[in-house]
Amino acid sequence: MEKTTKIDLPPPRMIRGGGKPPFPRWVWGVLIAIALLVGIGTGVFFGLRYNRAQTVVEKTVEPEVAPVNQEVVANLAQATEAIEKGDWKSARGFYQQVLLADPNNAEAKASIPLIERHLKEAKGSLLIRTEPTGAEVRVPGQAAVTSPATLENLPSGPLKVEISLEGFESIVKEIEVVANERTELPPVTLSKSTGKLEVVSEPKGVEFKILKADENDEPKELVQIGKTPAMIPELDPGEYKVLMAVEGWPEYSELVRVRHNQNASVSAVFSRGGLNITSEPPGAEVWVQKGDGPAHKSGATPLTLDDLPIGKHRIELRYRDWSPIKRTVEVADSITQNLDFSWQPAPVRFVSDPPGAEVFLNDRRVGNGRTPFTAELPAGDYVFSANHRQLGRINSAFSVNPDAESNEVNFGFSYGSVRITSEPSGAAVVANGKPLGRTPLFLANVAPGQYRYELSKENYTGSSVSGEVKAGGSLEFSTTLEMDGKPDMNGNFINGLGERLTWFGSLNGWVAANEVTQELYERVMGDNPSSFKAPKHPVDSVTWYQAAQYAEKLTIIERGLGNVPEGYVYRLPTDKEWGAYVGKQGLDEAITSLGQRLQSSYPVGSMPPNEFGLSDVRGNVWEWCTDWYSQTIVSRIREAGGSANPQFVGTERKVLRGGAWNKSNAYDLSIHNRRAARPSTEGNDIGFRVVLMPE
């Protein structure tokens, strides 16, 4: 039999947790954590933790076993496994569970501070994207960035991210940053930020407008119109100008700020008062002005006004040509005041040298005739003006006194006279483009100044005379005209109004070099219908009928001057003639809104002429043609490759060509385009030019 060696064992001891290792358990935990922090694998230490000093005994001793906390054992094992995987947060959690069950556990107490230190030093990154982009992104400890952005060197663990963008609701998100990894979030969609605005008034039903204000608090964009009371939801935050209007009241205006998720309000009270207005004599016009607003006519005396806004009002009574009576009154809430006005009239005689002048008071004509005449006016100080057709306008200050024996206002004009004769007689006389008559000609009332008179007669060479007219003096001119022929049928010429005409052999006639100006139109027609008043600008806002009538009157004037060949007349061009003389006029040499938005027409001839010497054939103003918009016009447009409007055929519309100052699109400015308009149409972009052609 084999001999067995006997070893004496120490006395039995209590064993906790499956047997006590050679070193305390917390020492092993520290060693494990240190090994992991310095990059040493945990396998060796894990084995050491569970090695026990084995004693060979001859026979097995069964010690007493204390109760084992399986939850602690399991959490310690899971903590070790989490550390091996690099899941430091989970490991910390398992150790914390151990301390809850075993507060004095040395391994957990030693490991948690090391793990905390590791987590604090570990860094990660975060990619933030927003919709829309450009939002401001803030995290604690770092400067703000703009999305999309990647945030580097972030501590691992939970992180609060604040995202904001003007006009949108701000967002705060809790993000988990993973050590040594880049966390990429899905795009964050921002919601529009809005507020509410309430508009109320007393009384209700007042019209209002809401306009978005710019950075200078000036209105720039209409947001909404309506009547009070009203609640406007979902307004973008910012400054708004609210306007309210009631007839007879000055416009109410208030600037209000709308904030996110807040209610703003604007209110206005339009209080009322009244006036009973009488006058002697009755029937006077009553004009009311509130504050700095415009005065408006409210009726005639006797008059009751019971719906006036409270505050100061300027009341003015006007009667015939008398000096108005003005008074400022304070209208009180719910109170009606009595006002009485009266005049004490006196006869006033108006005379002038020379007679025949019209008299005005505040641009209102006094009386119904020309000087001399008498009118009744109340006492007061006046400034009258007298207008003479040849001598212009002069002023005279006068005080009407009812107690005086007589009240006479005398206007003394400065003037002279001019006598013009010619050999032969019958020559047409023109000054500054205005026909004055034929020789022998006596001009009785001529204002002092320098004058030049053009004389012309058919088949004679034109002549001119000039000189200075002095006040009280008389100037006489006499000239002899030499025989001459009619205008050269093969050359350009200037007519009696100073208008240059260009000869077109292919058309057997002349074409005006410029569109008819306001100055020429007023000389011939006696008025100026243009929207943009300027003598050298093309006349605008003329109908087809007015343009045709101008040509007829010009023919009469020019025939009187002997400047129209026999059988020729001034008229509007035909569509075919316009197409012939437009030539190679380009848009880069035309007055249009193609490059920049224009506000009005330009003086004629501002741009270089075409190859025929004609200016503004394209642009500046549309030009009337004689043609109706017919199937023939449609066919011409299509043959040229343009876009026609056959629906206008048969609708009694005339043709306009050339485009205008306010046009910018290719269709309107196309050389092939024809605008169709009724002959009665007028607009600030419509004018014309004339041609001198055979009848």
pLDDT tens, residue by residue, 116-125: 787 777 777 8
Percent share of the chain, pLDDT over 70: 88
Highest CATH level, class, for 272-342:
mainly beta
pLDDT of 256 > 60? The answer is: yes
Contacts of 500 (CB under 8 A, 6+ apart): 492, 493, 494, 512, 513, 514
pLDDT tens, residue by residue, 155-167: 777 888 889 887 7
Highest CATH level, class, for 345-412:
mainly beta
pLDDT tens, residue by residue, 362-417: 888 888 889 999 988 888 888 999 999 889 899 999 988 888 888 999 999 999 99
Fill in the DSSP letter of residue 633.
H
Rounded-to-integer distance, Cα 437 and Cα 461, Å: 18
Q: Where in the chain is the domain with CATH 2.60.40.10?
A: 195-269, 272-342, 416-480
Q: What is the pLDDT of residue 587?
A: 92
| CATH of region 493-694 | 3.90.1580.10
pLDDT tens, residue by residue, 517-575: 999 999 999 999 999 999 999 999 999 999 999 999 999 999 888 788 889 999 999 99
pLDDT of 135 > 60? The answer is: yes
Q: Where in the chain is the domain with CATH 3.90.1580.10?
A: 493-694
- In three state form, how does the secondary structure of 193-230 look? CCEEEEEEEECCCCEEEEEEECCCCCEEEEEEEEECCE
- DSSP H or E segment with residue 537: none
- One-letter amino acid for residue 324 of the chain: P
Integer angstrom CA distances of residue 427 from 234, 534, 558, 603, 692 = 79, 32, 12, 33, 22
> Which of 432-457 are b and which e, b meaning 16 or more Cβ less than 10 Å from the residue's Cβ?
ebebeebbebebebbebeebebbbbb
Integer angstrom CA distances of residue 251 from 213, 244, 247, 254 = 17, 6, 9, 10
Alpha helices in 448-540 (DSSP H): 518-525
Q: Which SS3 state, helix, strand or coil, does residue 591 take?
A: strand
- The bridge status of strand 219-227 relative to strand 207-213 is antiparallel
Percent share of the chain, pLDDT over 90: 41
Rounded-to-integer distance, Cα 365 and Cα 89, Å: 99
* Whether the Cβ atoms of residue 469 and residue 462 lie closer than 8 Å to each other: no
Q: What is the pLDDT of residue 5?
A: 36
Q: Which CATH number fits domain 195-269: 2.40.240.10, 2.70.160.11, 3.40.50.970, 2.60.40.10?
A: 2.60.40.10
pLDDT tens, residue by residue, 235-252: 888 889 999 887 766 688
Confidence band, pLDDT 50/70/90 cuts, at residue 7: very low
C-alpha 509, offset from chain centre: 47
pLDDT of 483 > 60? The answer is: no
CATH 2.40.480.10 fits 416-480, yes or no: no
Q: Where in the chain is the domain with CATH 2.60.40.1120?
A: 123-189, 345-412
Instruction: Over range 53-69, report the average pLDDT.
Output: 50
Contacts of 658 (CB under 8 A, 6+ apart): 578, 582, 616, 617, 618, 619, 620, 621, 622, 623
**Lowest mean pLDDT: which of 143-157, 364-378, 646-660?**
143-157
**Lowest mean pLDDT: which of 216-230, 429-443, 670-684?**
216-230
pTM of the model: 0.37
Q: What is the pLDDT of residue 424?
A: 84
| Averaged pLDDT score across all residues of the chain | 84
Give me the CATH topology for the region 123-189. Immunoglobulin-like (2.60.40)
Q: What is the pLDDT of residue 13?
A: 33
